[in-house]
């Protein structure tokens, strides 16, 4: 039994340099794998950071645009108030019509203009996770699960 034990050990003993190479290779392989995962993680995080910054910028821009839109809407309304329109009309020679000025004509099939419908207010109902793509919100673990699920043919 003792011989049997010794023999294979002696017979398959590797040269020290081989062992060193193997150890180094294994370590390097692990290191490379770690680096790859780290790089991947870093890349995803960088994209996420860029996207996050873009979201912040767009949010600020959107708020500013909404504010500007309100200002312009107000200015437009200021310029077209009934009082101002009446003044402008009077200044170019118009006057309010008197009932005697009006001639009524019967038109068969006349369809009166449709009634004014106000625009819908700006805003949307709240959603639990916002509207970002899952690519920016899922964790690495979730991504791996999704990837493995895809490889196994799961949907």
Which residues of this chain interact with other proteins, rule CB under 8 A? 45, 48-53, 55-56, 59, 66-67, 70-71, 73-74, 76-78, 80-83, 86, 96-100, 102, 104, 106, 115-127, 129-132, 136-137
CB of 65 to other proteins, least distance (A): 12
The smaller minimum CB distance to other proteins, of residues 7 and 41, is found at 41
Q: Are 146 and 138 in contact (CB under 8 A)?
A: yes
The smaller minimum CB distance to other proteins, of residues 48 and 143, is found at 48
CB of 39 to other proteins, least distance (A): 17
Q: Is the dihedral of CA 147, 150, 152, 154 positive or negative?
A: positive
CB of 26 to other proteins, least distance (A): 31
The smaller minimum CB distance to other proteins, of residues 50 and 88, is found at 50
Cα–Cα distance measured from residue 7 to residue 13, given in angstroms and rounded to the nearest whole number: 10
Cα–Cα distance measured from residue 57 to residue 39, given in angstroms and rounded to the nearest whole number: 26
Cα–Cα distance measured from residue 42 to residue 38, given in angstroms and rounded to the nearest whole number: 6
Q: Are 76 and 132 in contact (CB under 8 A)?
A: no
The smaller minimum CB distance to other proteins, of residues 130 and 153, is found at 130
CA angle 81, 83, 88 (to 5 degrees): 95
């Amino acid at each position: 039994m003792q011989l049997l034990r010794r023999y294979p050990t002696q017979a398959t003993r590797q040269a020290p340099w081989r062992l060193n190479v193997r150890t180094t290779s294994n370590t390097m392989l692990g290191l490379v794998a770690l680096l790859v995962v780290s790089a991947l993680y870093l890349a995803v995080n960088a994209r996420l950071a860029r996207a996050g910054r873009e979201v912040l910028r767009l949010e600020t821009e959107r708020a500013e645009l909404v504010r500007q839109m309100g200002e312009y809407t107000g200015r437009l309304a200021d310029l077209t108030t009934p009082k101002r329109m009446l003044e402008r009309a009077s200044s170019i020679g118009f006057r309010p019509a008197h009932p005697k000025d009006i001639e009524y004509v019967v038109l068969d099939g006349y369809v009166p203009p449709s009634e004014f419908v106000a625009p819908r207010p700006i805003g949307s109902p709240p959603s639990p996770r916002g509207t970002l793509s899952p690519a920016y919100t899922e964790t690495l673990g979730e991504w791996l699960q999704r990837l493995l699920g895809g490889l196994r043919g799961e949907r």
